[in-house]
Amino acid sequence: MPRRKSSILKRRADRKKHLHNLKVKQDLKKALKKFQSLVSSKRLDEAKAFLSTIYSKLDKAAKKGIIHRNTANRKKARLTVRASKAA
């Protein structure tokens, strides 16, 4: 347990930030699963429309440092390939 006041406050802030980052990652994961289900059920027009939402979520997460920017770009590229192969 931290003893200094600054350490206690830092720990509290870190916990809040950690919970927020987890929420963003979970939201991103749900979106990716939804996209996968749309592609597998052959609803390609909905999947392509949903792709822009996923791009936005990935870019925001990368901008805030929740995920690395190269990871976001790699995921976007793979999703684009998956959508175009299904068409």
pLDDT digits (tens, 9 = 90+) for 25-60: 999 999 999 999 999 999 999 999 999 999 999 999
Quote the percentage of the chain above a pLDDT of 70: 100
Architecture per CATH, domain 5-86, reads as: Up-down Bundle (1.20)
The pTM assigned to this predicted structure is 0.87
Question: How many C-beta atoms lie closer than 10 Å to residue 18's C-beta?
Answer: 10
SS (H, E, C) the chain: CCCCHHHHHHHHHHHHHHHHHHHHHHHHHHHHHHHHHHHHCCCHHHHHHHHHHHHHHHHHHHHCCCCCHHHHHHHHHHHHHHHHHHC
The whole-angstrom separation of Cα 77 and Cα 63 is 17
Instruction: Report residue 72 as tokens.
Output: 């976001």
Domain boundaries in the chain? 5-86
